[in-house]
Amino acid sequence: MIKVEDLARSFNGLWAVDGVSFGVKEGEIFGFLGPNGAGKTTTIRMLCTLIQPSRGQAWIAGYDVLKQPTEVRRSLGIIFQDPSLDDRLTAYENLKFHAIIYKVPRRERKMRIDRVLGMTELQGRRNDLVRYFSGGMKRRLEIARGLLHEPKVLFLDEPTLGLDPQTRNRIWQYLHDLRRTKKITLFLTTHYMDEAENCDRIAVIDYGKIIALDTPENLKRMVKGDIVTVHTQDDTLAQKELGERYRVVVKRDSSGLHFEMDKGEEFIPKLVKDFSMPITAVSVRRPTLDDVFLKLTGREIREETASDKDRLRQRVRRIGGMR
C-alpha cells in the first residue's frame, strides 16, 4: 500500500530526512517511532504531497507521489499533529465542508457523515460548536473527518499528543476497530512507547535515518536479557564495580544504574550477596521499546524534548563534529 525508496528532504542544506526506504502492507498498522525533530512529520508531509522530496520516490496505493499527486490525495486521509478543525463551525459543518472539498457525491454526504459520527460516538454532538469540545472529542472528530472520503491509507501524526491516558486508550480502540472492519492501512508517528506497541511493525527513526525496522517484539529482543536497576550508597563506585565484576555495560541516570542481564530474577540474589557495598534498592523488568531506543542511540527518547529547530541545530553540530 505504501512504497518508499531513498526518500530525502533537505532544508537549507540540512537533511531533515536522509534517504529512508520502507514498505507498508495493506491493512497494516505501521509506526514511525522517534523523538521530536527526527524526521517523522517531514516524511509524512512528503508522502501526503504537502512538500516535495529533495530526492527519492514514493507510491501510495499504487500512485506516484510526485507524478500523480491528485490520485494520492484521494487515496489518503490525514490526522495532523496540530488541531486543524474550524472551532467556529459545528461538528456536522466541519464534516460537510470536508465532504465538499473531497467531492463526496451530494447524495452520499449525509449518510457518510452520520456513519463516521456514529463510529466515533459524536452523533449527539453533531450540532455543537467545536470550540466547546474536549481535546479527546476534537481528536475523534478529526479521525471522523479523515475517514469521510473513505481513504485507503490513514496517516496519523502524533494522534494522541497531549491527551490523558484514558482518552488515548479510547482513541486506540476506535483505530483497532477501524482496521478490523474497514481493512484500512494506518501509518502513525509517535514518541509514546506504549502507543508504538499497537503497531504491527515499527521503524525507529533518528536524525533523519531509519536505524531499525521490525515488529515490537523483535525490536525488544535486540536488548539481551532483562533490565536490572540498582541503587547504592555510591553509584559512581558501584557503576565501575558492576561493569568490571559482571562484564556488563552499566548506564547511569537519575533513576539509578541500569544494565542487561540474562535471567535477571536469578541474578539478583547473587548480586545482593556478593556485592561489596550495600544495595539500597534493586529491581528487574523485561525490556521495553524505550530500552531499544536507548540501546540504538545511547539516550532515552523521553529526554528528547527540544523543538524541531533545536534538533536541527543539534544535528548541524553533530555532523560538524564528525568531519
Distance between alpha carbon 135 and the CA centroid of its chain, in Å? 19
Q: Domains in the chain, ordered, with CATH?
A: 2-219 (3.40.50.300), 224-286 (3.30.70)
Task: Please report, in tens digits, the pLDDT of each residue of the chain (323 residues total).
Answer: 999 999 999 998 899 999 999 999 999 999 998 888 889 999 999 999 999 999 999 999 999 999 999 999 999 999 887 888 999 999 999 999 999 999 999 999 999 999 999 888 899 999 999 999 998 899 889 989 988 998 999 999 888 877 778 878 888 888 888 888 888 999 998 878 888 899 999 999 999 999 999 999 999 988 888 999 999 989 999 999 999 999 999 988 888 899 999 888 999 999 998 898 889 999 999 888 888 888 888 776 654 444 444 545 555 544 444 43
pTM for this model (two decimals): 0.78
Pairing, β 251-253 against β 201-206: unpaired
Contacts of 310 (CB under 8 A, 6+ apart): 37
Distance between alpha carbon 236 and the CA centroid of its chain, in Å? 35
Between CA 216 and CA 200 the distance in angstroms is 7
